[in-house]
Homo-oligomer: A and B are copies of this chain.
């Protein structure tokens, strides 16, 4: 750790440093995807960037730092996109569906990123500070969980969403499931297609469709009628068997 010193933002040197940092991150990202995070050696990253060990370590003092940096960048980058994707929609169901569509897009067009996330989750989740957990979900902060839940409540009231949904539970359950499915498909990649004869894209979209049907209220035809007001079955909080 020679002189990390004070390099003021906007300085020529600082700019250069930023570019180098990006080069390293980009190269690493690619190698991680090809060989797997854990099997990637620093030597490979050095070769790919043309930097010497000593130089590389000026930027990242350990391999994990590179991994975390890539992860952070991805989160940030995605945050904006997710918000935009959801912006148009107005109802609760529509917003959720917009988000899911967005995730389908990611899966098709940015599968490397999803693969990375899958690896990251499995390997680093245990080290997470709890605040990071939300990842994609946390990215909705603009709309916010609360906003989302409110929309679900409205959706239930206006009859577009099934009665008996617990907004809190539903929201997390759906998003978690979809992220899980997305990452699994990305990880298994081509193998799924070979084995199932189904494209990743259509598998994911089918799942989305099923979820939509699962959330949507049964029949629009049905005019009110008190209909069993099913008490949202509160999740058995805190009482699990693990």
Contacts and interface: CB of A to CB of B under 8 A. Distances in A.
7 contacts: A109-B241, A119-B123, A125-B187, A169-B206, A172-B192, A180-B184, A190-B242
Question: Which 9 A-B pairs rank lowest in CB-CB distance, beginning with the nearest?
Answer: A202-B235, A180-B180, A214-B214, A122-B122, A210-B214, A180-B184, A177-B181, A218-B226, A173-B206
Chain A contact residues: helix, strand, loop or mixed: helix
A108 interface: yes
Interface stretch (A2-10, A20-28, A78-86, A193-201): A193-201
Contacts of A187: 121-122, 125
Contacts of A206: 166, 169-170, 173, 235
Interface residues of A, number: 82
Interface string A195-224: 111111111101101111111011100110
In this complex, which of A172, A189, A223 has the most chain B Cβ atoms within 10 angstroms of its Cβ? A172
In this complex, which of A181, A190, A223, A228 has the most chain B Cβ atoms within 10 angstroms of its Cβ? A181
Q: How many monomers of this protein are in the complex?
A: 2
A218 B218 contact: yes
A45 B202 CA distance: 43
Given A126-B36, A210-B214, A213-B213, A184 B226 contact: no
Nearest to A213: B214
B169 A235 contact: no
